[in-house]
């Protein structure tokens, strides 16, 4: 049976989620940061992690954004195939939710309407919207504000099949080492392997929204996630880029089918807050 959903529900939820994601760390990130603070061996690294934890606590208490860069709003909609949206245009509803969230929530507006002319839109719209059709009659909304200190350190490598899994590992390490302190470590590393040029980048972005305490369901990918986290934390970049064992909190990898002649790999790095909020309507 088809279920009607008024797009106003999208607007109302996205508004709230923009504010929620920029003020409160998700439970999986809170838990990971707590463990990292307890286990970090470098005194300076531990001091950085303590400061980050204090900042997070104050942000929640005082309703101040976790970071001054409240990001560009990235919205994922997983839409049940039995859903029928009514009451308006979905893209307009998403942008209205972002507009209200950033204006009413007094969040920094960081979006310019044209990449060359660069005039600020003054309400952080338009958002980046990704949609996926899935079974069912519900809509899963994920709002992930993405700051550009880490976004600017993202990479796409168009490897050849001969590069194999060792080439994938080298690409991930190259991206992380090149990012260094500029991606505000400890970072979360989202990786997309396979597909096409744009598909691997999408997968890397989506990987950042997966709870970091959950590994891939594909055995070799889960092992690769663990191996790369260990190798990244052996680089010595550390919290704030000031040395230590906690360079990354997680490596999340998504894979997809690809062409016989290709091996695309994308790395989308996120800073220590890795902001995301998830709801289902």
pLDDT computed for residue 60 by the predictor: 86
pLDDT computed for residue 61 by the predictor: 87
Q: Which residues of the chain have pLDDT under 50?
A: none
pLDDT digits (tens, 9 = 90+) for 38-54: 999 999 999 999 999 99
Please state the domain extents for the chain: 3-22+66-146, 149-274
Q: Specify the 3-state DSSP secondary structure of 133.
A: strand
pLDDT computed for residue 1 by the predictor: 87
pLDDT computed for residue 177 by the predictor: 97
**Residue 270: CB partners within 8 Å, gap ≥ 6?**
146, 150, 183, 187, 188, 189, 190, 208
pLDDT digits (tens, 9 = 90+) for 161-177: 999 999 999 999 999 99
E strand segments, the chain: 3-6, 72-80, 83-86, 128-134, 139-146, 155-159, 187-195, 248-258, 263-270, 277-280
């Amino acid at each position: 049976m088809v279920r009607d959903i008024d797009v106003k529900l999208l607007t109302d939820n996205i508004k709230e989620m923009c504010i929620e994601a920029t003020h409160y760390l998700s439970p999986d990130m809170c838990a990971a940061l707590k463990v990292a603070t307890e286990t970090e061996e470098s005194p300076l690294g531990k001091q950085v992690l303590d400061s980050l934890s204090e900042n997070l606590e104050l942000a929640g208490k005082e309703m101040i954004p976790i970071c001054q860069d409240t990001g560009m709003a990235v919205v994922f909609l997983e839409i049940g195939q039995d859903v029928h949206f009514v009451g308006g245009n979905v893209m307009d509803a998403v942008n209205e939710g972002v507009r209200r969230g950033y204006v009413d929530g007094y969040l920094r507006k960081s979006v310019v309407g044209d990449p060359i002319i660069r005039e600020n839109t003054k309400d952080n719209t338009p958002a980046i919207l990704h949609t996926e059709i899935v079974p069912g009659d519900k809509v899963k909304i994920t709002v992930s504000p993405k700051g550009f200190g880490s976004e600017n350190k993202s990479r796409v490598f168009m490897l050849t099949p001969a590069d194999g899994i060792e080439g994938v590992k080298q690409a991930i390490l190259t991206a992380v080492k090149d990012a260094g302190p500029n991606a505000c470590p400890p970072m979360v590393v989202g990786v997309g392997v396979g597909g096409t040029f744009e598909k691997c980048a999408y997968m890397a972005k989506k990987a950042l929204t997966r709870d970091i305490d959950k590994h891939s369901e594909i055995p070799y990918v889960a092992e690769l996630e663990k191996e790369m986290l260990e190798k990244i934390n052996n680089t010595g970049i550390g919290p704030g880029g000031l040395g230590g064992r906690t360079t990354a909190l997680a490596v999340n990898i998504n894979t997809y089918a690809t062409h016989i002649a290709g091996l695309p790999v994308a790395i989308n790095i996120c800073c220590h807050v890795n902001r995301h909020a998830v709801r289902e309507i």
